[in-house]
Amino acid sequence: MKRTYFITGGAGFIGSHLSERLLKEGNNIISIDNFNDYYDPILKEKNYEIVKRTAEENNCHYKLYRGDIRDKNILEEIFNNHSIDGIVSLAANAGVRPSIEAPEYYVDVNLMGLTNLLEISKNNGVKSFVFISSSSVYGNNKKVPFSEKDAVDNPISPYAATKKAGELLCYTYHALYKMNIACLRYFTVYGPRQRPDLAINKFTRLMLKGEEIPMYGDGTTARDYTYISDIVDGTVKALNYVMQKDKYIYDIFNLGGSNPITLKKLIDVIGEATGKRPKIKKLPMQPGDVNITYSDFSHAKEILNYEPKIKIEEGISNFVKWYQSNILEVQ
């Protein structure tokens, strides 16, 4: 069935991939993005062009509003202009370390912006909502793998605290207004168009230039990396789940790969994919960084039939090929 979805942060890394996938499935997409300069907005313009082309190729309606989720007027304009069936809330300030420098800004965007979205959804009777949370809510959880049943009361960055608070706000709207809401805890997402501030993109860039790779800590910290097509797949499944009319849903899902690899191993895998020998510069651990992320995604598997497919070597190889043909050629 053709539906109209509202995707916030639609010109970003994950938002543009999700938009493409939903358009290819024949849906209409309405989107908002403020094209902020957290990283080069030219990259977001390129993402926008790709999504626009996908919409044309699939004969679907696509409109992106250039605006801010903290601006209630533009949200009202959007809901007045379009009949929205479901929402995916991706727009956020996404970096962990910068959130320590600018906590007010993170709270403002990630929580006031989210509240505006929940309010406008409630006011317009839109009952299906997917909120994108993060594995960072687990902080330095001692038990691995991380399960949705674990207590997440010890976030160690303002970013993580806003994501946990966002999950709570979502619960409140579910309880008060019977909205169906899924909160998705993404575990580090990578693939073509990945944010340039994230490790895989940054290390690839430095390695190809023959520059040193800053390695924070002794290389034993580990991350559970999730390839973009697997994340998009899980997100679409969660969206279909909350679209069910006869259900009363609030749920939290880990979307990860359940296969953490150490920082040292990650650097080696990128070295192989780029054909370069990594030059490592050892630096102390950074505040806010967690030691390990490791997802138990059995709940998402059971309820959503989520099953990540792409292994790290294949995913990194895809990323490096994309980087070489899309980023290097324009530098």
- Known catalytic residues are 159
Residue 8 · residue 34 · CB < 8 Å: no
Stretch that binds ligand NAD, among 12-20, 215-223, 291-299, 323-331 (CB under 6 A): 12-20
Residue 28, strand partner residues = 4
Of the pair 36, 326, the CB lying nearest ligand NAD is at 36
Nearest approach in angstroms of CB 204 to ligand NAD is: 15
Among 7, 84, 87, 92, binds ligand NAD (CB under 6 A): 92
Copy the structure tokens of residue 222: 């580990």
**Residue 99 identity:** S
**Residue 193 identity:** R
E strands, 75-219, in order:
86-89, 128-134, 180-186, 189-190, 212-216
139 binds ligand NAD (CB under 6 A): no
Question: Buried b vs exposed e over 66-79: b needs ≥16 C-beta within 10 Å?
Answer: ebbbbeeebbeebb
33 binds ligand NAD (CB under 6 A): yes
170 binds ligand NAD (CB under 6 A): no
290 binds ligand NAD (CB under 6 A): no
C-alpha 161/C-alpha 168 separation (Å) is 11
Stretch that binds ligand NAD, among 64-72, 234-242, 261-269, 323-331 (CB under 6 A): 64-72
Q: Look-up: residue for tokens 């543009």?
A: 16
116 binds ligand NAD (CB under 6 A): no
32 binds ligand NAD (CB under 6 A): yes
69 binds ligand NAD (CB under 6 A): yes
216 binds ligand NAD (CB under 6 A): no
Residue least distant from ligand NAD (Cβ): 12
* Pairing assessment for the beta strands 86-89 and 4-8 based on DSSP bridges: parallel
